[in-house]
Chains A and B, each alone.
Chain A
Amino acid sequence: MRQTIAALFLAGTLSAGAQTLTMAVGAPVTSLDAHFHQLSPNNAVASMLFDRLVNTDAQARNVPGLAESWTAIAPDIWEFRLRRGVRFHNGQEFTAEDVAFTIARVPNVPNSPSSFAGFVRPITRVEIVDPHTIRFSTNGPYPLLPQDLSNIYILDSTTHAQATTEQFNAGPMAVGTGPFRLIRHANGDRIELERNAEYWGTAPAFARVNYRMITNDSARAAALLAGDVDVIDQVPTADLARLRTDSRVALAETVGLRVIYLSFDHSRDDATPFVTDNDGRPIARNPLKDVRVRRALSMAIDRAAITSRVMEGSATPSGQFLPPGIFSHVPDIAAPAFDAEGARRLLAEAGFPQGFRITLHGPNDRYPNDGRIIQAIGQMWTRIGVRTAIDAQTWTTFVARAGRAEFSAFLIGWGSNPEGSHPLRNLIACQSRERGWGNSNRGRYCNEALDQGLVRALQTLDDADRERQLMALQRQAFEDVAIVPLHIQTNIWAARRGFEVTPRADELSLAQSVRPAAAR
């Protein structure tokens, strides 16, 4: 009898221990308002508190969220059938009214540093058919609407009618339909969550979650090894080799959707600011406008050396935006092969047999090993005669200057939605306020023919046909070396023994992705 009680007591404490999950993430969350700032860390927290009409699974595929199904009932009208019996954390019922309210709120969040408005701009009219059916009219056929709506978190029309971003951050308005409810938010330090017992989907494994932000890489890895936290994201590459052999820790990895690439100055035909001849005099024409020079600079890069030596295997060399297995990945574009001899020949053909001097810019605190990667590229370019100076800056300074097209060549990254038109529209298309394209086209590449093709592709409802068109457009862009892709990052989480993480392609660190590991 006494033994049974002791056993019960022990079981009780053990399961109580297993009921709390402490995880540490590397990037700070800037707001709990799900429509305030398009940023992966914010989206991760929003995905725990809120739901979308269309959710995405670990492979970034669309799966039913608050909408059970969706169909295009006419070329320019989408109908979404909503889930019944779903309640917000405060007991309010979820209906089509809430969807209409959310669509209306998204473009009207004051002071948003990076708005979600682009995702709802195609919607010209919202029609509520009944409390659980809603229709969206678009300006012409728009096959990507479900994809776009997978970025929009649904709020409650009564609770959030007057809600401000500050009220979300303070806590009282952070009320959604998601798998967790908010207990406490200490800005930039931690977020405490509790399981939503009435959640409509798969119940989360842990009753309480302590979601901490530890931005220093070494400190985060040390916290995991010390047992202060159970799971960390953004495992520092310097620690990978050691963690792989540590039996107390298990790694979960998947190829991500973020491509790291070089961008060149396409905006100037005459001298570009950071290219000079070997004596330091400006060159009258911009050599980077010559496709042979761009191709030579791409061929001179030993991508395999960067992924193995600098990234320690946590990246895959790439010659395009998307990894294999994702809609509109182009199987016949391989990562450009390393060929220093060929690069020298191409440079000579382009009229630069002695090379030139260039400064390669990049951030030093944004992507894993960003400063190291540009130094390595500096070595490789210098070896083909393009004497390279390296200038690594903090992200905020760097990105502002890159946005003003102040650089000649620079390294930057892009996290894609899982289909080719997203990077094409943002990175390759000509800058156009009217179309909302080229927002992140910092090299100012512009090819009208390609843009026309992109307009056509985006109006093609048939998936297979659209994929063919998008693949052709990507071939065209990379044939012309519009940008120079380097590699696609691998997303890596590390968990202590007893915890298991489902790795996500979209980088989001979610508490619902963590489960107690099966006994080993």
Chain B
Amino acid sequence: MSGVVLAPVETPLRRFVSEFFASSIAAIGLAVFVVIALAAIFAPWIAPQNPYDLAVLDIMDGRLEPGAVGGSGMTHWLGTDDQGRDMLSGIIYGLRISLLVGVGSAFIACMVGASLGMLAAYAGGRTDSVIMRVVDLQLSFPTILAALMILAFLGKGVMNVVIALVLVEWAYYARTVRGSALVERRREYIEAAICLALPTRRILFNHLLPNCLPPLIVVGTMQIARAIALEATLSFLGLGVPITEPSLGLLIANGYEYMLSGKYWISFYPGIALLITIVSINLVGDQLRDVLNPRLKK
């Protein structure tokens, strides 16, 4: 008996982790995302320059090629933009804003949307109709148009971008959660909870919500990527962040006019950074969907 090696106890979390890492592409995606997130979090320590401090920028260093040495003796590995801002630093700081806006807005939208979706499913009747018609109305608007209108009203600024993104994205979560909550609430354990006369709040958040989480996590990851892309679009159109604190979208917009004249690096590198970020998040999201969806199981 002593020679028998016991297999590690199979907990749901362990199974989930091993299933997730079964796909090497998803693992790479997650690794890239972690690197990007760490770079964004520790930006002030790893970026060669603080690109938001006007005092360290010099217009005479504007539009230097990748690898060129600026007036202060600093090497700009990815070149500089039209204001003499080091592109590498600009991208690292830009990622920071993009991730903050993306994750922040997805999180808040998720809370708002999930609560309203569950309420609609649980309460049913008139409450359900009102909430879901608002969701329909919201989803019938093109996202970018709605965001543009909200920002035109609120004005520029990182917080306003987050508010605008929350306002246009909560509907996706509400719809998703309502769908799975409708199924779950007919289950016996909910009926049992109701019979026990537990408070509604407790039934909603302790019983119903945990069982609606898997689809919510999948939608959430996808929406983070979407929010980052949307923030980049808004900044590209000049409605997002202030011009002295560029996010990735604004960096791309700044360089766009120079594309024709051969100064590709101002738009190109931030574009690549944006692409890698979104792809890595989407890879993680795809794998999460496969792992968390019982119907896709063999």
Contacts and interface: CB of A to CB of B under 8 A. Distances in A.
Given A305-B60, A372-B82, A389 B238 contact: no
A379 B261 contact: no
Interface string A376-416: 10111011000111111010000000000000000000000
Interface string B48-67: 00000111011110100000
A284 interface: no
Nearest to A388: B54
A241 B263 CA distance: 11
B259 interface: yes
B242 A305 contact: no
A174 to B, nearest CB: 35
Given A376-B59, A390-B242, A390-B243, A221 B54 contact: no
Given A218-B257, A309-B59, A387-B54, 8 more contacts: A218-B256, A305-B59, A310-B82, A379-B55, A382-B55, A389-B244, A390-B244, A392-B243
A364 interface: yes
A436 B258 CA distance: 43
Contacts of B263: 238
B243 A364 contact: yes
6 closest A-B pairs by CB: A382-B54, A382-B55, A376-B59, A238-B257, A379-B54, A242-B261
Interface in A336-389: 364, 371-372, 375-376, 378-380, 382-383, 387-389
Contacts, number: 65
Nearest to A364: B238
Interface in A273-322: 302, 305-306, 309-310
Contacts of B53: 382
Nearest to B261: A242
B176 interface: no
A310 B59 contact: yes
28 contacts: A238-B258, A238-B263, A239-B260, A239-B261, A241-B261, A242-B261, A305-B59, A305-B60, A306-B59, A309-B60, A310-B59, A310-B62, A310-B82, A372-B82, A378-B244, A379-B57, A379-B59, A379-B84, A382-B53, A382-B55, A383-B55, A387-B54, A388-B54, A389-B244, A390-B54, A390-B244, A392-B243, A394-B238
Given A378-B54, A382-B54, A242 B260 contact: yes
A218 B82 contact: no
B262 interface: yes
B59 A217 contact: no
A186 B45 CA distance: 56
B83 interface: yes
A375 B244 contact: yes
Nearest to B82: A372
Contacts of A217: 257
A443 interface: no
A304 to B, nearest CB: 10
Contacts of B58: 379
Interface in B256-285: 256-263
Given A309-B62, A388-B54, A390-B242, A379 B262 contact: no
Interface size class of B (residues with CB under 8 A): 20 to 34
A188 to B, nearest CB: 20
Interface of B: 53-55, 57-60, 62, 82-84, 238, 242-244, 256-263
A222 interface: yes
Interface residues of A, number: 31
Contacts of B83: 372, 375-376, 379
Interface string A230-245: 0000001011011000
Nearest to A369: B82
A371 B253 CA distance: 13
A241 B258 CA distance: 11
B237 to A, nearest CB: 11
- Most A C-beta atoms less than 10 A away, residue of B53, B260, B262: B260
Interface string A33-57: 0000000000000000000000000
Nearest to A236: B257
B260 A238 contact: yes
Contacts of A371: 243
A306 B62 CA distance: 11
A44 to B, nearest CB: 24
Nearest to B55: A382
Contacts of B257: 217-218, 236, 238
Contacts of A378: 54, 244
A308 B6 CA distance: 75
B297 to A, nearest CB: 51
B65 to A, nearest CB: 14
Pick the most buried of B53, B242, B257: most chain A CB atoms within 10 A of its CB. B257
Contacts of B54: 375, 378-379, 382, 387-388, 390
Contacts of A242: 260-262
A309 B238 CA distance: 22
A383 B59 CA distance: 12
Contacts of B261: 238-239, 241-242
Quick one: which of B83, B256, B262 has the most chain A CB within 10 A? B83
A372 B256 CA distance: 14
A389 B257 CA distance: 24
Contacts of A391: 242
B118 to A, nearest CB: 41
A356 to B, nearest CB: 15
A477 to B, nearest CB: 28
A299 to B, nearest CB: 17
Contacts of B244: 375, 378, 389-390
A388 to B, nearest CB: 6
Contacts of A392: 243
B260 A221 contact: yes
Nearest to B254: A372
Contacts of A388: 54
A169 to B, nearest CB: 28
A382 B58 CA distance: 11
Contacts of A382: 53-55
A184 B47 CA distance: 57
Contacts of A372: 82-83
B260 A218 contact: yes
Nearest to A239: B261
Nearest to A243: B261
Contacts of A309: 59-60, 62
Nearest to B58: A379
Nearest to A372: B82
